[in-house]
Each structure stands twice: as structure tokens, then as C-alpha cells.
Amino acid sequence: MGVDLRQIVAAILTITMFVMLGQMLHRDYFDAVQEKVEGDAHDIEFHGSKVAVVEGTKGPWMHDSHDLKPCWSISSSDEAVSSKGYVTFSLTNGPEYHISQITDAVMVAKHLGATLVLPDIRGSKPGDEMNFDDIYDVDKFVKSLESVVKVVKKLPSHVSLRDIAIVKVPTRVAEDYIKEHIDPIFKSKGNIRVTTYFPSVNLRKTSLDGETDPVSCLAMFGSLELQPGVSDLVESMIQRLKKSGGRFVAIDLRVEILEKKNCRVGSKTCYNAQEIALFLRKLGFESDTTIYLTQPRWESSLNILKDIFPKTFTKEAIMPASKKSKYLELENSEYENVIDFYISSRSDVFVPAIPGLFYANTVGKRIALGKPQVLVPAEISGTSGLSTDYISPYISKKNHLAYSCFC
């Protein structure tokens, strides 16, 4: 009985097809949503701002842009004047709030011609208090502001707390508001305590804002630096992350905030670990991407992120063991918040899984450092997406306040 050659060929093709199908079915699901791009780096333009996109097999990374330079200049009318009155205040709620609180207090002291008293730092629980120099560099702070306002470390003993009036000011307080609402109280009492409230947590610059006050720019971007011990710790943690993969992604994802009701109302603004993992894979980040999470301690809900990106770390995994008793094991979380903020500011990519002031002020620091890759999460239809479509509007539209202070 003869053998039909056409039947043999057909059988071989059928077997080959099933083998290939089996390989595809056993392949990781996320391989289907990863798009590898090959070629040289090229520039993408966002509203007149060019950003270099690094293409290759390691994900959609971008080059840092050139360092921006401060555009503000202090004129003779901005220089510090002596006064008998004092402005006191405290830093609260974490470093993203500290920046705004510092800026508002400096603005008030400057435009009142008052002396600014170095603040203390207060945590979320009663009794959680730290000195300014536990986190920030006092000498650099005082020196950076010496041209616009006098700063003293303590309130003089002859000033009674009863002589200090408490005034509330909106964040991004302007000179006109200070003259109308605060100056009369200062003239009456002689000393004031400023507390900042936040009618808005965004830092978008609008056409209604007018020209940004150079004193505000100096206070927001030129006054706060970490004290050496904390700065060295942050640097060592960044280096450990970079050794893991060269580049790394920082994600502001905190489980306790995701569980709050305001993350579930209205339009989608908060993203959990699974959603962030899918977002990153659809953008083309490979499984060996190094990821830093702001989540304080590991939670089981984060396991899926680590399954897809095994090099995912929290602070406790990358902090030197000798530092944990001071920076991780205290009930006061101010150190942890500061570490998160400065690592997120320095990462190659920043992904805010949660909206708010942490996101806004982290972007401000990144703009000043020339680190434009801030990817705002979204549900991507289809199997892949371009990272350039998800760049933060703060950067793509250049509408962050930082663009008023740097050029």
C-alpha cells in the first residue's frame, strides 16, 4: 500500500502547530502584553518640552533631561528687614506637607518683616515630636534664607505664648492675602503662629496665579535639605536599588490609604498592586525591573506585584540592619515618610498609585532634578500602551508650579 506524501506533510504540520500552541499556552500571560521596542533613543515632544525616550529590550525608560536652573532672583526689595515680631509654626503630616508649610511661613515672615522661628516637627499622634535637625539641615536652611528672612533657632524667653496669635493661612498664600488678613493681627499682637490649611492638594499653575513670588520659589525649592545622617541613609538605599537593576521604579502605593473610602468614590484615582503590575507590564517593563514601594511593611495583597516583578522591595528589605532600630522600629513614622519622599524624587521612574500632595510635591522635586518620567496609572485597553501617553500632565503640559521657578 503506497503512502501519500501529501498526508505525511500535513501530519507534520499538524504536530508542529500543536507544539507551538502548547508553548504559547504555557508561556506567562504577561508576555502577551509586553511590547519590545528596538532602536536608538529619540526625542518625544510634550508641549514644547523634549524628553528623550530610551528604547531597547529593558523597558520604556527615559533619559533624564538637562538640569534646570533656578529662574528666581532676589531683588533689594526682597531682602530681609529687622523686626521685633516673631512668626512660629510646626511641620506636620510628612515631608510633602513640610515643603508647603515652610513656604507659607517664609512668605508670611518675609512680607510682615518678622523673624522666623525654626519649627519643630510633629507626628500624627499626640506626643510625637522631633526637632527640626532630626531630619533637616539647620545650617543650610538658615543660610539659604538669610537674604530674605532672619531665622532664629528658638523663641526668645521674654516672649510669652499668650502674646502669640494663631492665624490660619491657605497654602500658596500670596502677598495680598498676607497684607489684608494677617498684617493687622501681627501689628496688634506683635507675634503670630501660622498654621497652613489645604483647600487644594494640587500644585498646578493656572492663568489666575499671576507671577510666582521669588521668595516662594526660594522657600519651596531652595531651603530644605536632609541632615547628613538621613541623607546618607537615603543615598545608601538608592544605591542598593540601583545595584539590583541599574534603574528602578518608585511606586507610591500604601495599602491603608487604598482601603479608605475616598479611593472608591467617583472616577478611578487609586490603583492597587494588581492594577499597577498590569499597567507596568502593558507599558513594556520587563519582569526583572527593580521596584521600590512606599508601603511601610509587606502585605499579602502585594504578592501579585512581586510574582510579576520579583525585584520589588519595601524599606525593610533594603535598609541596612544597623539603621532599622532608629528609622523603622519607632512608632513615629516621620523618618519613613521622609525616606519614601526622597527616594521617589530620585528614582528613574515614579508612579503615583495614589493622588495627593505626595504626588504633587514629588513631581516638583523631580522637575528641578531633570527627572521627567512620572507615569500616572490608568486602565490600558488592549495588550500594550506607550509610556509617553501616560506622562503626568504636570510635566506634559508644564503646568506645575516648579516650571515658574526653574528654566
316: its cell numbers: 525593610
Domain coordinates in residue numbering, the chain: 76-222, 227-405
* Predicted pLDDT of residue 260: 78
The pLDDT tens digits of the residues spanning 183-217 come to 999 999 999 999 999 988 888 876 555 567 899 99
Alpha-carbon gap, residue 406 to 395, rounded angstroms: 13
Alpha-carbon gap, residue 363 to 374, rounded angstroms: 7
Alpha-carbon gap, residue 293 to 303, rounded angstroms: 12
Alpha-carbon gap, residue 29 to 308, rounded angstroms: 10
* Predicted pLDDT of residue 33: 30
pLDDT in tens, the chain (407 residues): 454 555 554 554 444 443 333 333 233 322 333 333 333 344 444 334 444 444 444 678 988 876 678 888 876 666 666 677 999 999 998 899 999 999 999 999 999 999 999 999 997 777 788 999 999 999 999 999 999 999 999 999 888 888 899 999 999 999 999 999 999 999 999 999 999 999 888 888 765 555 678 999 999 999 999 999 999 999 999 999 999 878 999 999 998 888 876 677 666 889 999 999 999 999 999 999 999 999 988 999 999 999 999 999 999 999 999 999 989 877 667 899 999 999 999 999 999 999 999 999 999 999 999 999 999 999 999 899 999 999 999 999 999 999 999 98
Q: What single letter denotes the amino acid at residue 397? A: K
DSSP tag of 56: S
- What's the predicted TM-score (pTM) here? 0.83
* Residues β-bridged to residue 120: 90
Alpha-carbon gap, residue 260 to 343, rounded angstroms: 25
**What strands lie across the sheet with 115-117, from one edge to the other?**
151-152, 115-117, 86-88, 191-197, 164-170
Residues in contact with 135: Cβ distance below 8 Å, sequence separation at least 6, in sequence order: 95, 121, 226, 227, 230, 334, 335, 338
Write down the CATH number for the domain with range 227-405: 3.40.50
Alpha-carbon gap, residue 360 to 366, rounded angstroms: 10
* Residues β-bridged to residue 252: 352
Angle between helices 334-346 and 228-245 (to 10 degrees): 50
151: its cell numbers: 531665622
* Residues β-bridged to residue 374: 350
220: its cell numbers: 519651596
* Predicted pLDDT of residue 44: 42
**What strands lie across the sheet with 61-62, from one edge to the other?**
42-46, 49-54, 61-62
Alpha-carbon gap, residue 28 to 37, rounded angstroms: 19
Q: Which residues of 186-195 are buried (b: 16+ CB within 10 A; e: fewer)?
A: beebbbbbbe
366: its cell numbers: 523631580
* Predicted pLDDT of residue 395: 94
Longest distance between any two alpha carbons in the chain, whole Å: 117
Task: Provide the strand spans (E) within 189-265.
Answer: 191-197, 248-252
HEC secondary structure over 286-339: CCCCEEEECCCCCCHHHHHHHHHCCCEECHHHHCCHHHHHHHCCCCCCHHHHHH
At 164 the three-state DSSP class reads strand
